[in-house]
Amino acid sequence: MADPGMSVSPYWELTFDTNGDVDPSERDRLLAQVTERGVRDLVVFAHGWNEDRSAATALYRRFFAPFPGLAPHARLGYVGVVWPSMRFSDEPIPDFPKSVVATEAEAAPGPALDKDTRRALLAVFPGRASALDRLARLLDERPEGDAGPAEFGRLVRLLLDGAERPAADTDEPGLPAVFTEDPATACAEFADALGAVAAPGGAEGFSLPNPWDGAKELLRQAAYYTMKGRAGTVGEHGLGPLLGRLAAKAPGVRVHLVGHSFGGRLVSFALRGLPSAVRTVKSVTLLEGAFSHYAFARRLPDDPHRSGALKDQQLRVDGPLVCCYSRFDAALGTFYPLAARLSGDDRSCLGNEIAAVLGPRWGALGHDGVQSVPGTVALDLARALAGGLPASGCVNIDAASVVRRGGPPAGAHSDILHPELARVVLAAGRVT
């Protein structure tokens, strides 16, 4: 059931499992009520990494709140997609109260993996309790020498053995090297990058990073890699077909897809799961999308014989596909490319300079927008809101003027609760 304290109405929630199967009662309620409630424009929002339903619902409550005032004459309806993702509970989110875990950790640092995070990891990697227990002990004990990081890396790979993988990502083939190469090197690079994010500009002098300072980030990336695969599955096999059923039941309803982080991947893969004749998706807005900036490319710059995982899927949108990005997103500007591909040399990865170190191949949409799609329009946020948006095609919007707050390791990745971004969604869909 929808939260009775939701800021907008009518509002529905759709809950999907790891296979993309939707809760039948929630699906049937939406299909039965959307026309009955007189909805003309339906905004469907998919969250990124969140630890539970209450966090997702709180995000939707706050993001949707400005919409009625911004479009007072529109017949709007709202859907919050709830899918099995996770977030490390010590990770701060701007505009949300600090979790109990984060508050306690500041007052009295405890185990590297708190009980809530361990429980969430076990849900992501079922049957791996002993491996997770050992990983937690290693993070706490931080043994000296090479054997500890080597064991840590082996256990992280064990978690990924048999776990969900990103579906058909021809732009990002295979398991990222960060999980297959020397774990001490990977953890040391993460430690270096964490230091740069925590203290932009760096300090004078040079010191070798301690691999244990970056080990938790390696584990975090393993969880996020699994979430990435799950988001594609839920989008293509869950949300996409459901939107097809909605189009058949209520063909006059205009759908506007919004996704944050891996939720951007979810709604983008929903385009691939749409029945071929459906043209009811009128806009897509990606907020700090956590997947390859070449996802929609017909040809990859470094290999013209290969394409992005979502080649030409923007053409399934009867309107624009808008990508909002920010250079202050450390999760995507620093850790996404580093996890996708280790630099393999001895140069330090200093914050957003990592893109120059690794090259553009490993970039994310939420860091620099859609790449290698001819005709993509580039705007800053002020111009986008003042002058209107193109009626079709890909549109990159530099949203760094508002998406700029957040601490390490993610930076501004979750700083999306701004009325300006709500206005972008409405402008993309021509909703007034």
Q: How open is the CA angle 328-97-43, to the nearest 5 degrees?
A: 70
With contact defined as beta carbons under 8 Å apart, do 333 and 180 qualify?
Answer: no
Q: Is the per-residue pLDDT at 106 higher than 70?
A: no
Q: Is the per-residue pLDDT at 348 higher than 80?
A: no
The 10 Å Cβ neighbour count of residue 270 is 32
Tokens found for residue 46: 């998919």
Q: Which residues contact 153 (CB under 8 A, 6 or more apart)?
A: 179, 182, 183, 184, 186, 187, 218
The 10 Å Cβ neighbour count of residue 306 is 14
Q: Is the per-residue pLDDT at 39 higher than 80?
A: yes
Residues 48-73, mean pLDDT to the nearest whole number: 91
Task: Give pLDDT, residue 238.
Answer: 98
Q: Report the share of the chain in percent with pLDDT over 90.
A: 60
pLDDT tens column, 288-323: 999 999 999 999 888 888 899 999 999 999 999 999
Sheet with 281-287: strands ordered across: 11-15, 76-82, 41-46, 254-260, 281-287, 320-325, 393-398, 377-380
Task: Give pLDDT, residue 15.
Answer: 97
Task: Give pLDDT, residue 353.
Answer: 43
Residues 256-264, mean pLDDT to the nearest whole number: 97
Q: Which residue in the block uniquely carries the two structure tokens 């385009």? A: 271
Single out the residue of 242, 291, 249, 371 nearest to residue 257, CA to CA: 242
Handedness of CA 258, 46, 329, 312 (dihedral sign): negative
Tokens found for residue 209: 């990073």
Q: Is the per-residue pLDDT at 272 higher than 60?
A: yes
Handedness of CA 389, 322, 88, 213 (dihedral sign): negative
Give dist(CA 95, CA 238) in Å, integer.
30
Residues 109-137, mean pLDDT to the nearest whole number: 88
Q: Report the share of the chain in percent with pLDDT over 70.
A: 82
Task: Give pLDDT, residue 411.
Answer: 87
Q: Is the per-residue pLDDT at 183 higher than 80?
A: yes
Half-sphere exposure of 165 (CA within 13 A, CB side): 13
Greater confidence (198 vs 407) lies with: 407
With contact defined as beta carbons under 8 Å apart, do 332 and 228 qualify?
Answer: no
Residue 325's pLDDT band, with cuts at 50, 70 and 90, is very high
Single out the residue of 233, 124, 238 nearest to residue 168, CA to CA: 233
Tokens found for residue 199: 């203290």
The helix (H) or strand (E) run that includes residue 368 is helix 365-368
Q: Which residues contact 270 (CB under 8 A, 6 or more apart)?
A: 235, 236, 238, 239, 240, 243, 257
DSSP code at position 361 = G
With contact defined as beta carbons under 8 Å apart, do 215 and 188 qualify?
Answer: no
Task: Give pLDDT, residue 61.
Answer: 97
Please state, rounded to an integer, the average pLDDT across all residues of the chain.
86
Residue 109's pLDDT band, with cuts at 50, 70 and 90, is low
Residues 198-219, mean pLDDT to the nearest whole number: 71
With contact defined as beta carbons under 8 Å apart, do 390 and 243 qualify?
Answer: no
Q: Is the per-residue pLDDT at 409 higher than 60?
A: yes
Q: Which residue in the block uniquely carries the two structure tokens 């609760």? A: 417
DSSP string, 319-340: SEEEEEE-TTBHIIIIIHHHHH
Q: Is the per-residue pLDDT at 350 higher than 90?
A: no
C-alpha to C-alpha distances, 184 to 260, 328, 342, 343, nearest whole angstrom: 32, 27, 12, 14
Give dist(CA 268, CA 291) in Å, integer.
10
Q: Is the per-residue pLDDT at 339 higher than 80?
A: no
Residue 22's pLDDT band, with cuts at 50, 70 and 90, is very high
Q: Picking from 46-50, 228-232, 356-360, which range would have the lowest pLDDT averaged per residue?
A: 356-360
DSSP string, 258-287: EEETHHHHHHHHHHHTS-TT---EEEEEEE
Greater confidence (331 vs 349) lies with: 331
With contact defined as beta carbons under 8 Å apart, do 309 and 171 qualify?
Answer: yes
With contact defined as beta carbons under 8 Å apart, do 189 and 343 qualify?
Answer: yes
Task: Give pLDDT, residue 212.
Answer: 93
Give dist(CA 179, CA 338) in Å, integer.
11
pLDDT tens column, 378-406: 999 999 999 889 999 999 999 999 999 98
Residues 67-84, mean pLDDT to the nearest whole number: 97
Give dist(CA 162, CA 169) in Å, integer.
17
Q: Is the per-residue pLDDT at 346 higher than 60?
A: no
